[in-house]
Amino acid sequence: MKFFIDTANISEIKRINEWGILDGVTTNPSLIAKESGKPFEAIIEEICGIVDGPISAEVIALDAPTMIKEGRLLSKIHKNVVVKVPLTAEGLKATHAFKAEGIRTNVTLCFSATQGLMAAKAGATYVSPFVGRLDDINAVGMELIEDLVTIFTNYDLETQVLSASIRSPRHVTESALAGAHVATIPTKVFDQMLAHPLTDKGIEGFLADWKKSGR
């Protein structure tokens, strides 16, 4: 399973990228809004200079013609830019147009299997089911990941399942078990995935024994 980082924060991206485990980055308007000072395009360009993989940048427009204009401009920033489009009728039209132009898309805000299947049929490169936000409303977000992986496999669809709105290491493990192609993970969850008290205790014990040995 590929790991994307779900942030627009440059220092967080640099820190996690140094671990050698990052395959890409996803941003959204809320994440970009947190990074004050720099224009949207400049942030995306800077991210593209750090991580050599798909970098999702989201359109703001709600109508297909304007989404297409925005997406074309975003895709010109760097060859790795993937245009993020909301899962609406206008978003499907834009996705279909982008596919014809060879522009890769990440169709976002997917909350049902039928939505995801339609995004795939429209030509989405990735579809992003939001696991955490489904859990928040007392649904089981991970069931959507499992359903989409099964459906895309059943029909040999090229669209990749990008597990999004990840809130815990457990979500990452379950996404991998379900066969999600990608998980986009917040920085805090990367830290939680790595940390283990037995690793820390083990290092402490090894070092103490080493010191005692007098070598």
Told to judge if 84 belongs to the known catalytic residues of this protein, a careful annotator would answer yes
Q: Which stretch binds ligand E4P (CB under 6 A): 14-22, 39-47, 124-132, 192-200?
A: 124-132
Cβ burial, residue 143 (10 Å; 0-12/13-18/19+): middle
Window 5-44: residues binding ligand E4P (CB under 6 A): 6, 26, 28
Q: Does 184 bind ligand E4P (CB under 6 A)?
A: yes
Q: Does 126 bind ligand E4P (CB under 6 A)?
A: no
179-183: long-range pairs with CB below 8 Å, 24+: 179/149, 179/153, 180/1, 180/145, 180/149, 181/1, 181/2, 181/126, 182/1, 182/2, 182/3, 182/4, 182/23, 182/24, 182/126, 183/1, 183/2, 183/3, 183/4
User: If DSSP codes are grouped into helix, strand and coil, which group holds residue 2?
Assistant: strand
Task: Pick the catalytic residue from 38, 69, 76, 84.
Answer: 84
Cα(175)–Cα(194) distance, integer angstroms: 17
Residue 110 Cβ vs ligand E4P, minimum distance, rounded to whole Å: 10
Q: Does 128 bind ligand E4P (CB under 6 A)?
A: yes
Q: Among 81, 164, 178, 180, which residue sits at the site for ligand E4P (rule: CB under 6 A)?
A: 164
Residue 18 Cβ vs ligand E4P, minimum distance, rounded to whole Å: 22
Q: Among 68, 165, 183, 189, which residue sits at the site for ligand E4P (rule: CB under 6 A)?
A: 165
Residues near ligand E4P (CB under 6 A) are 6, 26, 28, 108, 128, 130, 132-133, 164-165, 184
